[in-house]
Amino acid sequence: MAIDFDAKPTPPDEQLEEPLGAVAVAVRAVDLWIKRPHVYAALLGSMLLLSGVLRFTVLVLLFGDKVLATFTSDLQYLSFSLDLLPGAMMSWMNMPVTFVIADIALVAIGLFLSGLGTAWVIAYVLSRYGRGVDNLHLAISRGNETFAGVVSVSVVVSLVTGGLLVVWLLAMSTSIYLVLTASAPSSYILLLFAGGMLCLFAALFFAVRMYVAMVVPVADDCSVSEALRRSYVLTQGRFFHVLGAIIMFTLLKLILAGIVLVGLTAIFVTAGQVALLVASLGVAFLVAPIDAVFRSVLYLNLLKMRSGVGPALGVVSGVEPSGPVADEWW
């Protein structure tokens, strides 16, 4: 299917007119992705595919067949999204230092490419469904200008959330060890367990409240701290709405990924490990871009749910822009 770069109105049945419930947001994001999967695959899927192929090729050439088992045993390692850092760190275990150094460089390249593609998709969704104008050329131009902010926000959120989860894991593993060995007072173990659970809840709270922060730099040029603040304001009083939408979307995405994975694996069933490799890259190319679509749709929906918002994209009460307002580039 050809991709049209000319500006044109968005079909009325695809425009987001009214605020949606949590389940409806997730379903709507999937529905919008299904209508134009070739566009999202070209914008972001191609970048994810390039990142995965580049990473696989370089590491196999440098370190041999041992890397192949690592790739095919960890789909996150192949999926290559802006959330790839935790999966990459898991793959570094029991690997030589030279492998880790090479992979860090490849992760940085992957972040650059996936960040650029993600910014393109976000800009396209905001333009097509936020303003009702399908302008792919302008969306790509906007993505080029703002992808650094998208990557920066993603890295900050991932580091904070990941750090809290690491502390939780350490607290849980230490608590279990102390219980099994009876080497510490029960009050100390209980305190350690409670602290770990607090970190887990903090990670969940932060991840949900910052979920749409990645969209903000594209919608309106601003700093990382301002993007995080606006996401916090937009999700205020909507924690369970956002959490419910994320859970529903995750389930739908798993179903879609499973269908694609099984279908592609069946096609290459005689190829052994190569089948899983090709299928994993296929999932990255086709399904992974839906994440950026969902974040953008959720962002638009949260705007509509806030007071002081215009009919499409507008400034949220208490969220004054620090850069060009969206109207200046849509």
At 171 the pLDDT is 92
pLDDT of residue 207: 94
Q: State residue 82's pLDDT score.
A: 47
pTM of the model: 0.80
Q: Does any domain span residue 3?
A: no
Does residue 329 sit within a domain?
A: no
| Average pLDDT over the chain, rounded to an integer | 78
pLDDT of residue 268: 57
Q: What is the pLDDT of residues 197-231, one digit of tens each?
A: 999 999 999 999 999 999 999 988 888 999 999 99
Percent of the chain with pLDDT over 90: 33
Residue 5's pLDDT band, with cuts at 50, 70 and 90, is very low
For the chain, the domain total comes to: 1
Q: pLDDT at residue 115 above 50?
A: yes
Query: Which range, of 67-71, 82-86, 91-95, 144-148, averages the lowest pLDDT?
Result: 82-86
Please compute the mean of the pLDDT values over residues 25-34 and round it to a whole number. Answer: 90
Does residue 33 carry a pLDDT above 80? yes
pLDDT tens-digit series, residues 262-285:
666 666 555 555 556 666 666 667
Residue 269 structure tokens: 């069933």
Span 293-328, pLDDT tens digits: 999 999 999 988 875 443 334 433 334 444 333 444
d(CA 72, CA 119): 28
Range of the domain at 210: 19-307
Residue at 227 is within a domain:
yes
Of the chain, the percentage scoring pLDDT greater than 70 comes to 71
Q: What's the Cα-to-Cα distance from 277 to each of 47, 48, 74, 327, rounded to whole Å?
A: 17, 14, 10, 43
Span of 10-24, 131-145, 177-191 with lowest mean pLDDT: 10-24
Contact 300, 313 (CB under 8 A): yes
Q: Look at residue 155 and tell me if it is in a domain.
A: yes
pLDDT number for residue 196: 92
Confidence of residue 160 (pLDDT cuts 50, 70, 90): very high
For residues 33-44, give the mean pLDDT.
Answer: 88
- Domain-located, residue 147: yes
- Domain-located, residue 120: yes
193 within domain boundaries: yes
Give the whole-angstrom CA distance, residue 279 versus residue 284: 9
Look at residue 91 in the predicted model and tell me its pLDDT. Answer: 58
- Domain-embedded: residue 77: yes
Q: What is the pLDDT of residue 328?
A: 42
* DSSP-assigned beta bridge partners for residue 228: none
pLDDT reported for residue 329: 41
Using the predicted structure, report yes or no on whether residue 44 has a pLDDT greater than 80: yes
